[in-house]
């Protein structure tokens, strides 16, 4: 199921808790080591590092994400509510 981009779903995204995310220097530099959700206004899809499963966001521009670490998407409420069955969207691109 395609995932839309909105603030409610963004808040449910678990990418900020993920070892793949934490293992990327590029993402840590972009986010200043902070998790991405703590914004007072709705950020544009390309301004967040997360919810990569969404068509509007898609995969990260960072290329140093360690795929050997475990993706935590299956723990995510968005993953469950959209009946997703793949993961590593940050590397592979959005759910279709």
Residues that bind ligand SF4 (CB under 6 A): 13-15, 18, 20-21, 50-53, 71-73, 76, 78-79, 84, 87-90
Is 65:21 a contact under the CB 8 Å cutoff?
A: yes
SS3 for 21? helix
Question: Shortest approach of ligand SF4 to residue 8 CB, angstroms?
Answer: 11
Is 53:95 a contact under the CB 8 Å cutoff?
A: yes
Question: Shortest approach of ligand SF4 to residue 33 CB, angstroms?
Answer: 15
In this complex, which beta carbon is closest to ligand SF4, that of residue 41 or of residue 94? 94
């Amino acid at each position: 199921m395609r995932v839309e981009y909105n603030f409610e779903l963004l808040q449910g995204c678990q990418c900020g808790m993920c070892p793949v995310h934490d293992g990327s220097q590029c993402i840590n530099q972009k986010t200043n080591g902070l998790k991405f959700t703590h914004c007072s206004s709705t950020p544009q899809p390309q301004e967040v590092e997360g919810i990569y499963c969404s068509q509007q966001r898609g995969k990260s521009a960072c290329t140093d994400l360690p795929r050997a670490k475990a993706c935590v998407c299956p723990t995510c409420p968005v993953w469950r509510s959209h009946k997703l069955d793949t993961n590593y969207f940050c590397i592979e691109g959005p759910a279709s």
